Each structure stands twice: as C-alpha cells, then as structure tokens.
Structure 1
Amino acid sequence: MLTDRLYFQGCPEYLQAARAACSLPVLRKDFMVDAYQVAEARAMGADCILLIAAALGLADMQALEAQAMTYGMAVLVEVHNGEELDVALQLKTPLLGINNRNLRTFEVTLDTTLGLLSRIPADRIVVTESGILKPEDVALMRNNKVETFLVGEAFMRAPDSGVELARLFA
C-alpha cells in the first residue's frame, strides 16, 4: 500500500484499511530511506517494507533490513538490473522484486524479469513487478517459474479490481 501523499497520492489510512480488511501480509510500498519510516510502517500495521536498490546503498539497505527484522517484518528488495541484483543478493531477505519499469524512461518490459531469472538463487522468491496487464503476462511468468506478482496499475485502472484480479489470474 502506498502511504505517501505527496508523490503517490497514498495515505496511512489505506494501509490501515487493508490491514483491517484481511489477514494477508500487507506491504508498505513507499520509498523507505530511514529508520523512522520502518518504525512508522510497523505502527501502521505493515508486515513488509520495500527497499529499492536503485535508491539505497548496501549499508543503508542492510541497516533498514535489520531494523525491519527486529519488528518481525519482512523485506522486499527491488531491483531493475544486474548491478542492483548483485547488491540485493547480499541481503538476508528471500523476497526479491524485479521491477519491469525502467525508472528513468518509465518503459515497461517483462524481459527485465526474464533476463535476470537465471542469476537468482533457488532459495529466493522472485516477485515480478509492473507490466502485468493481461492473462498472457501471468502465463509467461508462470511458464518461467515466477509465481509471485506485484500488480498495481492494472487494478487501479480497472472499474472493478476484483473482476480484474479474476481476469488476470483465472
């Protein structure tokens, strides 16, 4: 859940509503850059935080990961390329997100996930992020042993996100 009002039009209440509505783990998907945000995420009810390798160095990611772990929280580390992957693999978290959106050009290609898969150890859980817009995208990822998806845009643009969920993952 996005909680940042200024950049993502989110709010803490969205995360709190999600937490109250279900027993599934809830991710705070904002750009985490300091320890206060990790504590804040836990206080909001988040079970997991996002660390973006493009925005943080290894030492910062390790510190934020350690803090999240002290709160019993999971960490999803997000990468966009091989260089970021090399850094991310030094973290303890098994959750590895591959964002298919280029942060500089905003171009989206599922080839980003497909191109990095062979470099990822079997003990990591790959989460493909961005660009999952049709059932064929889900099938392509599943055919390549990716079973975990972070989908936002498709649900936000759909008139009924439940119907869209059923359509994508039928």
Structure 2
Amino acid sequence: MPRYLEGWIKQVVENALRRAYVSRSREKPVLQVVPRIMELKKKGFNPVIAEYKRRSPSGFNEERDHITYAKQMELGSAVAISVITEDTVFNGSYKYLEDISRAVRVPVLMKDFVVTENQVDAAYDLGADFVLLIVRILTERELSGLIDYIRSFGMEALVEVHDREDLDIALRAGATLVGVNSRDLFSLKVEKESATKLLEEIPAGRVKVAESGIESIEEIKLLKERGADAFLIGSALMRNPDKIKEFVEG
C-alpha cells in the first residue's frame, strides 16, 4: 500500500486504485524528454514544461480549452506539456491527455497520483512520453517497480520529491529525472527556500526539474542558479499563456 493516506491525498489515491480505464491503441512513438531539456538548455533557453490544469486544492480554478492551450505552449517553445489527469480533486481527464498528445509534437507528461501499473498502461496508450511518480505516496519498493515498468515502455519517470527523505528514496530507486515540488502535499504551503536548497542536494548526473509556485522570470533565474535544468509551470501560464515566450527566452 502507498506510504501516506490522509486527507485529500487519501481521496485521490483511493480513486486511482479503483479508476476504470478502457485501453486505446497508441498512435505515436515515445518522445524522449531528457535530451530535449538538455538541448534547449545548451542553446541558452529555459526548458519550460507547461502544465494544463483546471483546478487544484490550493484554490486554483481556470477554464481554458486544452488543445488551444497546448498548441500555444508548443508554439512558444515549451519543451513539454504536462497534463493533469486526476479527475476528482483536480478536474482532470484522460481525454485531455489523449487529445493533447495527438495535437502536439513535443513530449507530454501524464501528471496524476500514479500507484498502479494500470495507470502506466493508460499513460502509454493515451500518448504520454513521461509519467509523474510522487515519492510521498509510494513505498520505496513500489517506486522502484513503477520506474522500471514505465521505462519498459520507453517512457521516463519524473520522480517528485519534497524533502531530503524523499530525495534519498528517489535516488535509491533509480530516479534520473527528479522534480522538486515547493508545495507541500499536505499543508499546501509553498516553501520556496527549502525547495531551492533541495535542488542543490541532487547529485550530478540527474536532471532537475523545479515545480510549483513559479510566477516570474526572476524566479526562474534564481532556480537556474541553484541547479534547476527545467521548470514545470502551471498556474502562471494558465492565467496568462502569453508569458510562455518570456519564461523560455528570458
């Protein structure tokens, strides 16, 4: 069973365990996100993973056409598109993932509370190229097994950590693409200074993604100084999609 089950986390994990999925036939090859991140970084740009989300427990709520948004992010040189598929708390949908993966030619992340191999099957079938795994809700054995299972499809795992304990577990499990979430899953508070310190503790050879609470190019520059290779940005871009070029080029 997952490590932590309380509050709204318990609700979404229990939903994930019983969520039905009808298999599809994947229509495109898997796109590798890590080489694209490093290539964009080498050219002097900020690799931004632009997130499509409609709602969150922190109070965010935004209505925007998912395909139009994804295409605008691609046109603005986003390195990848993140799609929230959790459907009880975040108002996400597998359909958003399927539609966006068909509409763009950049890697697509399935962002959900993944605790089963069935969810990984869904990610692959619906066109995802990498899949979020949250250390806080998995045992080390579950995490390691899911990383291996994701890679068996040619996809990659974005392994999300929040503190040093999470990071140690992620590294032992074999994570190479590590996301540092500045928002605590339980309190929902954004702790930017703790997150930037944790970025510095990730050893060389891993690709580091800064997640949550990024609102400005100044924050991107600071996170880059602390070692971030890429930046997952949701709320700021959902509210103002035109900021994508500033975030990438600034």
Alpha-carbon distance in structure 2 between the residues aligned to 1:123 and 1:135:
25
CA contact (8 A) 1:133 1:168 kept: no
Q: Normalising to structure 2: TM-score of the pair?
A: 0.64
The superposition leaves residues 38-85 of structure 1 with CA deviations (integer Å, 9 ceiling, x where unpaired) of 111111111111110110010001111111111111001000001111
Q: What residue is the counterpart of 1:25 in the other structure? A: 107
Q: 1:153 aligns with which of 222, 235, 241?
A: 235
Matched, 1:165 2:247: no
Alpha-carbon distance in structure 2 between the residues aligned to 1:148 and 1:10:
23
CA contact (8 A) 1:50 1:75 kept: yes
Distance change (3 Å), C-alpha of 1:118 and 1:135: closer
Q: What residue is the counterpart of 1:134 in the other structure? A: 216
Alpha-carbon distance in structure 1 between the residues aligned to 2:199 and 2:230:
13
Matched, 1:89 2:168: no
Alpha-carbon distance in structure 1 between the residues aligned to 2:245 and 2:219:
14
Q: What residue is the counterpart of 2:116 in the other structure? A: 34
Q: What residue is the counterpart of 1:51 in the other structure? A: 133
CA contact (8 A) 2:180 2:199 kept: no
Q: 1:7 aligns with which of 84, 89, 104?
A: 89
CA contact (8 A) 2:216 2:247 kept: yes
The superposition leaves residues 112-159 of structure 1 with CA deviations (integer Å, 9 ceiling, x where unpaired) of 33211332111000100001101111111122231301111112222x
Q: What residue is the counterpart of 1:80 in the other structure? A: 162
- How big is the alpha-carbon RMSD for the aligned residues of Structure 1 and Structure 2? 1.3
Determine what percentage of the aligned residue pairs are the same residue. 37
**Residue correspondences, number:** 167
Q: Kindly provide the amino acid, as one letter, of the partner of residue 141 in structure 1.
A: L
Q: Secondary structure of 1:62's match? A: helix
Greater Rg, structure 1 or structure 2? 2
Matched, 1:98 2:201: no
Unaligned runs of 5+ in 1: none
CA contact (8 A) 1:51 1:75 kept: yes
Q: Secondary structure of 1:6's match? A: coil
